[in-house]
Structure 1
Amino acid sequence: MELLWFAVFTVLLTGYFALEGFDLGVGLLLPLLGRTRADRDRMVAAIAPYVLANEVWLVAVGGTLAGVYPLLDGRVLSALYPLVVAMLLSWVLRDAGLWFRRRAGGTVWRGFWDAAIAFGSLGLSAGWGMALYAAATGFQAPAVHPLGLLLGVVVTLLFAFHGWTFLAWRTPGVFGAARSGRALLVSGAAAALPALGVLVAAMPYLLEHTAPLATLNVLSLMVLPVAPILVGAQVWVWRTFRPGKDAVLLPSFF
């Protein structure tokens, strides 16, 4: 049972990196590729159908961490409290930018929220790299560490590459390139690689700190039957909004 839940946690965390990674990557690229208002609208519209579905994976990661590794959950919050708060604020800033950018048409208003999307995406991307480094050291390293910052840069670059590949797949030729679904799978795997590496290295530690068997049995009865719904919803989103299904990408997040 411990191995089953380790596998579930691994799938959820790496799935979040592979899916939410391109959302954050597009946000990172907003100041670089979004040279005009129409370009920025198109970039945001490209990720619009996926954002909420992708964020569900993070909620699932948090729930699994609290239920399967309760002692580790408390340790993460205490050891990385400033970083966790900064990441939560970045998350709120990014999502606020997505929802508020079109509430008014002024240049200053739109520019402010576009910048919020970019900075929020940067904070989350770099924060995940720093959190992964702290986890790899058993939370012995400080929240802000030079190697953690370096891993934050790596994760940020991987997310940006994943976001660029997504745009080239979702809007072929619009931003200067066209990529296949296979290329998107490769960039998604690259974005998830840091999380997968840390989890594999931490596997013995996680198995030692798993919740009791009785708790895992209850979680299995409550959670696992819902898993097909999560997967089915994700498949529906990708099939519904794949390239070619909509001739015109309309601005979103009204």
Structure 2
Amino acid sequence: METLAVALLGFFFVGYVVLGGADLGLGMLLPYLGRNREERHRTVSAIWPLFLANEVWLVAAAGLFIGAFPTLEGEVFSGLMVVFVPLLAGWMIRDAGLWWRAAGSGPAADWLVCGGSWLAAGGWGWLIASLLNDSPTEPTSLGLGAVTTLFVLLLFLAHGLGFAALRLTGTPLARALRLTGRGGRGGRHSLLLTSLVSATLAVLAGARLPLSEHAASDTALTLIVPLSLAALPLLLAAHLWLWRLVSRTGFRLSSL
């Protein structure tokens, strides 16, 4: 059960980093892709409603981490609190901007989306750097943290460009294709490459955690792991259905 719990946790975490990293990258690129109100509206619309489905992967990973590895969870969250605070702040700011944009707010909401995306991406970079540290329950040094965070920021930007090449239309799409290559194939290749790099980085960071040594009791795992396994195909099916629905209908926010 311990091995299965570790594998499920890794799968959920990788799923979020790959999927959530794409919409964070797109939010980071908002000033480049959207030069006016209509273009920003079109760019933000590309994030809807997929960002909600992407965050379910993070919720699933956090829930499994808390339930299956409660002792380690406490050590990680308390030891890395200084890292989690800006990460969560960026996440909330970005999501607030998306909801305000859906409600019809203008430039202020767009800046919240962009600024929150940058702050959350930087938080993820610092968290990954700390997990790669000799002691994954303590913040990393300034040097390693800065280098790793810069790499993650650039990775999310590239990931967002590939996502933009698949989701955007019009002038914002043309701007994205200038950097990814002409045509949908260039965007797909770019997104595939950055997805592989993101997944590899997430696995390397997670592998530093002493998960097996801090697993919950067999009784708890016997309850948690089967429930997580049962939820996994439902999560995959729902995400695939939503992606196909959005791609087919060209979902856009109704209000400018």
Write the deviation string for residues 55-92 of structure 1: whole angstroms up to 9, x where unpaired: 00110111011011111110111111122122111111
- The answer as to whether partners of 1:28 and 1:119 remain within 8 angstroms in 2 is yes
- The answer as to whether partners of 2:103 and 2:255 remain within 8 angstroms in 1 is no
Q: Offset of 1:104 from its aligned partner? A: 4.5
Q: Secondary structure at the match of 2:211?
A: helix
Identity %: 36
Q: Offset of 1:140 from its aligned partner? A: 5.6
Instruction: Quote the residue 1:23 is aligned against.
Output: 23
Alignment of 1:75-224 (within 5 A): 75-104=75-104, 110-137=106-133, 138-139=135-136, 141-142=138-139, 145-171=142-168, 174=171, 175-176=173-174, 177=177, 178-180=183-185, 181-200=188-207, 202=208, 205-224=210-229
Instruction: Quote the residue 2:74 is aligned against.
Output: 74
Amino acid at match of 2:54: N
TM-score, normalised by the number of residues in structure 2: 0.88
Q: Distance in 1 between matches of 2:219 and 2:31?
A: 50
Q: Offset of 1:232 from its aligned partner? A: 0.9
Q: Distance in 1 between matches of 2:242 and 2:184?
A: 19
Q: Distance in 1 between matches of 2:226 and 2:4?
A: 13
Alignment of 1:12-51 (within 5 A): 12-51=12-51
- The answer as to whether partners of 2:48 and 2:251 remain within 8 angstroms in 1 is no
Alignment of 1:227-238 (within 5 A): 227-238=232-243
Q: Distance in 1 between matches of 2:141 and 2:104?
A: 38
Say which structure is richer in helix.
2
State the Cα RMSD in Å.
2.1
- The answer as to whether partners of 1:48 and 1:253 remain within 8 angstroms in 2 is no
Can you give the 5+ residue segments of structure 1 that lack an aligned partner in the other structure? none
- The answer as to whether partners of 1:25 and 1:162 remain within 8 angstroms in 2 is yes
Write the deviation string for residues 102-129 of structure 1: whole angstroms up to 9, x where unpaired: 5356xxxx22221111111111111111
| Ranges of 4+ aligned residues in structure 1 off by more than 4 Å | none
TM-score, normalised by the number of residues in structure 1: 0.88
Q: Distance in 1 between matches of 2:103 and 2:168?
A: 25
Write the deviation string for residues 185-220 of structure 1: whole angstroms up to 9, x where unpaired: 3322223332122223x26x2222222222111112
Amino acid at match of 1:196: V
Can you give the 5+ residue segments of structure 2 that lack an aligned partner in the other structure? 178-182
